[in-house]
Amino acid sequence: MNWKIEYKNLLLILAGFLACYFLPIGIPRFDNAILEAFHLVKWYAEEHVLLCLIPAFFIAGAIGVFISQAAILKYLGPQANRVLAYGVASVSGTILAVCSCTILPLFAGIYRMGAGLGPAAAFLYAGPAINVLAIILTARILGPEMGIARAVGAVFFSVIIGLLMAFFFRNEEKTEAAAQMVMPEGEAPRPLWQTSVYFAAMIGILVFANWGKPAESTGLWAAVFQAKWWITSGFALAFGVMLVAWFGLRFWQVTVTAVAVAGLALAFPDNPLIPFTAGFIGLSLFTSTDQGEAGAWFASSWTFAKQILPLLLFGVLVAGLLLGRVGHEGIIPSEWVAWAVGGNSLAANFFASFAGAFMYFATLTEVPILQGLIDNGMGKGPALALLLAGPALSLPSMLVINSVIGLKKTAVFVVLVVVMATCSGVLYGMLFG
Amino acid sequence: MKIHVLGPGCAKCTQLAESVAAVATELGIDYELEKVTDFNKIMAFGVMMTPGLVVDDKVKCVGKVPTSSELKEMLK
């Protein structure tokens, strides 16, 4: 009996047994929380996966494949214009950081071989914060003001953080670049305007398919809501034309899909989800079998789906268990949430920001957790503070950053993030709370 | 042939390592594969976008996982 190896198995069995033995089933709060977890998952599956996540995966996949990364990296290199470098660093997270683990090597590279500490710090903060999928889901679930505030806050404050980092450490010896930066290949097979229109069409489909019902029944918002599926179809039609004309997809495949979608729309006028889903099934079929760029686009989108859906599912279950839904509590009583992060006090914003900086959020899980917190009484200001500090940092990531830039710079960076997030939260809470 | 696969250990870097090993075996090349996960060493090659593929100390590809045909070209 080899105890040195077997002790781990024993501990696991023991932990499992104790968890089952002391399972609080039968206590109403716990039973309720379990049901809440499943209610929340069902709601997400019904409301958000088909209309919002699937188009978002295709958009994220397209960003990874169709936008030239070499062109962006040029602005972050050692010879780059410093002013431009900050601007590019703060928004390029959307384009360069499509794989979340690419952020740290890029940060290290920009710091040591590229434009320096300032733009590198801006990129480090903005990269995870400006994640395309996260912004889309935030806008969808927590409301467009929160989504926009998150994106704007991330970009704006990343520049400030970068500038402050560069200022605080301006007298540091710049270590000589060990090697020349290697650029990825950057042939752009189509002109920029075509790529832009293509993205605009996809974003149009996403935005209008998800256009929410406004409170008033008159006015511009309501008019758009009435017409939303016509507008979405218009974008979809334009999109289909682009796919054949510019991306070389086969005419008959796109047309069959278009006809199927139109047919289903006529057959099921009250259930737009059916033709919408059929459209995406068709898109998946003819892109996944393509041998060229469209195939790479599908593969990239599929990688996102594989990576994110299980994590999101888990995050939603945990959020439902701990926090419940609107009007239904989970395990955590809402008074605790309201006490800790309710209202818009400096303390509440700081607490949210600080907790967010150290807690680890798997991609996108911050959204259901935040939704639960807000429903339980978290103020809007602290919610934004958590969104700005949470995804950008976590204890594990701080350790890695420390290995690249050292303890002093890491500490300053973390303090700057927490302070910026707190201030943004207070401001946002004052304006929109 | 010395092959380095650069990356901190995410799915793409692992996939690159597997693809490269498969193609090299298929071409019958005598190779040695090393996975580099330390950032300082990755940057020593000049690579900023992982995954990175280095063959005999020459950087062949950064930022994506090449297809098998592209890999065959790079390993010649």
| Partners of residue B3 on adjacent β-strands | B33, B55
Which residues from A are below 8 Å from B49, CB to CB?
A: 69, 73, 96, 102, 105-106, 109, 184
Report the gap between the CA of B21 and the closest CA in chain A (Å). 21
Inter-chain touch B45–A182, beta carbons under 8 Å: yes
Paired strand residues for B47 = A182
Cβ–Cβ gap B44/A303 under 8 Å: no
CB contact under 8 A, B47 and A105: yes
Q: Which of B4, B12, B45, B49 to mutate to test the interface with A (most CBs of A within 10 A)?
A: B49
Mean predicted confidence (pLDDT) in A4-9: 90
- A106 interaction partners in chain B (CB closer than 8 Å): 48-49
Domain residue ranges in chain B: 2-65
Q: Chain A: residue nearest B12 by CA?
A: A99
Q: Which residues of B are catalytic?
A: 10, 13
Chain B environment of A108 (Cβ under 8 Å): 39-40, 42-43, 48
Q: Is A380 near chain B, with CB under 8 Å?
A: no
- Residue B4 to chain A, least CA–CA distance (Å): 15
Q: b vs e for A309-333, b when ≥16 Cβ sit within 10 Å of the residue's Cβ?
A: eeebbebbbbbbbbbbbeebbbbbe
| Mean pLDDT (10-residue bins), chain B, 76 residues | 82 82 85 83 78 84 78 80
Percent of chain A residues past pLDDT 70, beyond the cut: 94
* pLDDT band (50, 70, 90) for residue A338: confident
Tell if the CB–CB gap between B50 and A404 is shorter than 8 Å. Answer: no
CA distance A191 to chain B (A): 22
- Which residues touch A425 (CB under 8 Å, ≥6 apart)? A344, A349, A352, A353, A381, A382, A383, A384, A385, A386, A388
Tens of pLDDT, residues A14-56:
999 999 999 988 888 889 899 989 998 998 888 888 888 898 8
For range A310-326, the mean pLDDT = 85
CA distance, residue B31 to nearest chain A CA (Å): 24
- Beta carbons of B49 and A102 less than 8 Å apart: yes
Average pLDDT, chain B: 81
Yes or no: say if A115 and A85 are a contact pair by the CB < 8 Å rule: yes
Give how far B46 is from chain A: nearest CA, Å. Answer: 4
Out of A110, A182, A403, whose CB is closest to B47? Answer: A182
**Mean pLDDT of all residues in A157-169:** 90
DSSP label of A68: -
**Cβ–Cβ below 8 Å for B63 and A69:** yes
CATH fold for the domain made of B2-65 = Glutaredoxin (3.40.30)
Whether residue A102 and residue B62 make contact (CB cut-off 8 A), yes or no, is: no
Whether residue B51 is preceded by a cis peptide bond, meaning omega within 30 degrees of 0, is yes
Residue in A74, A95, A100, A101 to test binding to B, most B beta-carbons within 10 Å: A101
How far apart CA A379 and CA A269 sit, in angstroms, is 40
A108:B43 CB<8 A: yes
- pLDDT value of position A235: 92
Which DSSP string do the residues of A147-190 spell out, in sequence order? Answer: HHHHHHHHHHHHHHHHHHHHHHTTTSPPPPPSSPPBPPP---SS
B37: closest chain A residue by CA: A105
Phi first, then psi, for residue A179 (nearest 5°) are -150, 160
- What digits encode the pLDDT tens for the residues A59-77? 888 887 887 777 777 787 7
Query: Is A109's CB within 8 Å of B48's CB?
Result: yes
The interface pTM score, or ipTM, of the predicted complex is: 0.71
Within an 8 Å CB–CB cutoff, is residue A182 touching chain B? yes
Q: Which residue has the tokens 């704006």?
A: A156
For chain A, which residues make up each domain, given as ranges? 69-170+332-432
A2 three-class SS:
coil
- C-alpha distance from A100 to closest chain B C-alpha (Å): 9
Confidence at residue B8, expressed as pLDDT on a 0 to 100 scale: 77
pLDDT tier for residue A173 given thresholds of 50, 70 and 90? low
- Between CA A238 and CA A74 the distance in angstroms is 33
pLDDT value, residue A402: 86
Q: Which residues of B touch A93 (CB under 8 A)?
A: none
Residue A186 phi, psi (nearest 5): -130, 55
What is the rounded average pLDDT of the residues A277-294? 89
Nearest C-alpha in A relative to B47: A182
